[in-house]
Structure 1
């Protein structure tokens, strides 16, 4: 039978640490490893003297105040003995170092600079040694404890500027009756500044169109040269951004985050500007951004909603109306449906780009004064961004400018602007100087075309239909347009009979209603101008004896048998006729007038020369 003669080996354990401070309570434990449950008596030895025990106890633990330690460095060991005279080995000595000065922790903060509201500041209370301590945190005054932690860091939530101010910390350890506190740290100022709010801007607009280039920019108004990094969040119905390699992995702790609202949001770490080269419907959504410097974040921006629509469509309208007399003013307005930001515009007449399109840079193209050569069909197109994005071409908008005392006239038979369907119509171009070379053209249902049945300069329509409604004019071989007239074809039983040409100021305007079956004026009719009743059923005819510019407008009549279509009655000034006639006379008489002036000038010079000679002769004598 073999007997194990190896003696157990005790180990000395120190609490709270092998480095303590004067006044702390120290606990030494003699742990005899492999000693079993046998009752031991413990001998304690100090500073290597193993012959004279420092203390003998029946328990494994001894405690004492470090104040009673005479030296700053002491070594302790222990040994166990049993009643059968069996002894353990003497433990290895442990060194207990005692400092006479009460420790003072160091308090630091992260970030070290100004803290921003809506963020957190991490306070760190540094102690050496760091074993076994609890940490106590104070705000405004050293005796106003706000928090106790087992670690040496404390996160302060900065909700408002009032969370700033002076902070302290101290540490403590030991048993309740013998608890030991360090000194307070020096005061640490936590400076709090209201967190700046990020602002998202979108170029060219929050409402964009498929294929445009969009730039989102995050701006943060903040003093100094602080470098920010940016985090974008997108909340939308599509997941196009979820597969990006640039997804943000670092969360920024901002206040006021509505988790319900942003539960589907995806974060992107990005630069200050974010470009989407060719947007599509999947890019629609709400965009927000946050700035981050170190561990501090700005306030989240308000959401900007990016709406991506189908291709952009330009639309053109005219003010005040498309029928003009030479010398009038007219403005064409080009607009992009549903968008008004950042567009420049190009204008076209009869599909030719206008060289002075820059006049329409703001969406308006003004002709003042309007001239005969401005007659035509206008369209516009808008563009914006770099690279440029173009809208579709707009609807067409014709402008018709009538002149005064023209050498070329469009003669209509019967001479009226409204006609019944199934009736016949004749239109002829008459040139006082040369009737050849002119043809009748028309603009109907957005198309410009020659008259379907034309012989020479005369167009004949045997049976009118509503599709023949439009504007007719005379056009030369070189493309000049003269004398546009509006012809309306009605399927109903009543038409308004009025002059096909503009009315001269001071003349009499006569209107009456014509019935299809009788082809004669109706005796009782109501007459309207611009939608307002101007004469009731007292007679079937209306006369305006002295016409002025104020009588210009849309007229129609209404009877028991039906209502006519609307006709535009234009009025031109009599002064225009006078001036034009004078100019025409001067131009016609120009060769004779010029030769007469030359002869008179020569006679005058001859007489002056003769008179000068006689005076000179008299002086000589």
Structure 2
């Protein structure tokens, strides 16, 4: 009887104790966006305490340490701006009521994984330095992001089916310093075609830093940027000389020599004659093309024109600049000029004698005419 009463008393006391005490409120921690997150993204961790109280003071822990001051806490939300790989770890939260030794249970640990953005690699073809006038192709390659994004599809038996997929990148092209650049668009000089930027006819103004970056609608919505420095050099210069000096004389042999300011020796020389519609000269009856020298045999008036040269080769640079145009002037030959001079000199020297001869002839003719007239008059008188 006594033992039964004792048991009943203990049972009643346990019921009373359980009615007066409650379990600590539970805390639930959620992360937005879903983990993994990517460097640079804004991450929000929200702590929800299952309680009717609304005056909780929230405490955040990362592993066994408090979160850093770089993070922003606003009531039940912890915000990480521009997340970094160092933000990865296990996060927990719980609540306290000031003035009372009351706290919630710590939430289950939530693992935050932070991945770096996909890398992009910028390549330049041909290799820098490039030469003025060359066609330059810049290609932006973003690493395959099949490991970066997945979709969780729940099957009918509630098993997770992780499916990798990716969306198309939109490529953005920049020129200039990282802190002061301009976005390149399709223009007369630049062709933007997805992952490729083409420079048509490079100039000195293209000597700069070029950047590319990928953007898209899915996460990660951007890639890291990549840069390449483009150096642009002038083509080798060409110098044209004429021997003998112009003007030359008809019938002379003239040599034109093309000198290219370059360390390369495998140049093929091209020779041109004319102004607007220049004609390339080949070895012929009167022209001899011998690598860097053009020989004109027996110059005549048809050779009086503009001449210029340039070099071509198989390697880079594959051409030189055009030489300055030289005007070739062809005058009459010296022998012809001397013959004419001699004739004129002889005529001038003989002129007095010729004049005297003409006068004597004139007088003789006149005297003869007068003598004939006198004889005619004498005959008439005798009759």
Which structure shows the bigger proportion of residues in strand conformation? 1
- Give 1 or 2: higher helix fraction: 2
TM above 0.5, one fold? no
Taking structure 2 as the reference length, the TM-score comes to 0.43
Higher relative contact order (CA 8 A, sep 6+): 2
TM-score by length of 1: 0.30
